[in-house]
Amino acid sequence: MTIDFLKKELSNILSKKRYDHSIRVLETALTLGKIYDGDLNKISTAALLHDYAKEFKREDLIKIAKEHFLSETEDYLENIEILHSYASAYIAKEIFKITDTEILSAIKYHTTGRKNMSLTEKIVYIADAIEPKRDYPHVEKIRDLALVNLNKAILLEVNKKIEYLVKGEFIIHINSIEMRNWLLKIS
């Protein structure tokens, strides 16, 4: 499956805004993939498909989560922001017939992260958070850090994200907390 084919499929399903975001994530992920000697094929595929289901209807996201990822999503079914990652991974597997677990995990955990992430997972996760149009406090610092120390960049990103979630009294996915604790230990 070529990158051009995936781009075409994406442009058919996503709004221009979301499509452009996906392309920026692809480009950012490729930059990081070259720096860290990642598998550029896996990185490209995951980066392109990570938000495939972002604009799915709420009930469809909940249906996919319940039917295919219940144990992982049952505490988060109200939280569409988390569910679109699972639905995108489901589409990658069922529609695009992707079987590579690293690609599927990079899509599935791009919102929450998780402990013990592979290089591909880390790159897609942080590329999504730092693509050039992202604008939030400390993003510049996270962007700079990502070029020299991926783990520290993700740690800073998740620390800031957790602070934001706590302040807003939003739910924090357990995977994000586990990822943070893991990164604290290894970085």
Q: Of the candidates 51, 72, 121, 157, which one interacts with Fe ion according to CB under 5 A?
A: 51
Q: Of the candidates 72, 102, 128, 157, which one interacts with Fe ion according to CB under 5 A?
A: 128
- Please say which residue, 102 or 128, places its beta carbon nearer to Fe ion: 128
Task: Let me know: does 38 contact 120? Beta carbons within 8 Å.
Answer: yes
Task: Let me know: does 116 contact 141? Beta carbons within 8 Å.
Answer: no
Q: CB 50 → Fe ion: shortest distance, Å?
A: 6
Q: How far apart are CA 175 and CA 155, in angstroms?
A: 13
Q: CB 53 → Fe ion: shortest distance, Å?
A: 9
Q: Which residues contact 31 (CB under 8 A, 6 or more apart)?
A: none
Measured CA to CA in angstroms, residue 58 lies from 78, 80, 109, 169, 182 at distances of 9, 7, 19, 22, 32
- Please say which residue, 72 or 128, places its beta carbon nearer to Fe ion: 128
Q: How far apart are CA 173 and CA 78, in angstroms?
A: 12
If binding is defined by CB under 5 A, does position 72 make contact with Fe ion? no
Measured CA to CA in angstroms, residue 69 lies from 44, 73, 92, 116 at distances of 24, 6, 14, 20
Number of residues that bind Fe ion (CB under 5 A): 2
Q: Per CB under 5 A, which region of 28-36, 39-47, 48-56, 137-145 contacts Fe ion?
A: 48-56
- Please say which residue, 58 or 184, places its beta carbon nearer to Fe ion: 58
Task: Let me know: does 80 contact 38? Beta carbons within 8 Å.
Answer: no
- Work out the angle at residue 37's Cα, subtended by the Cα atoms of residues 93 and 150, and round it to the nearest 5 degrees: 85
Q: CB 48 → Fe ion: shortest distance, Å?
A: 11
- Please say which residue, 78 or 184, places its beta carbon nearer to Fe ion: 78
Q: CB 112 → Fe ion: shortest distance, Å?
A: 10
Task: By CB under 5 A, name the binding residues for Fe ion.
Answer: 51, 128
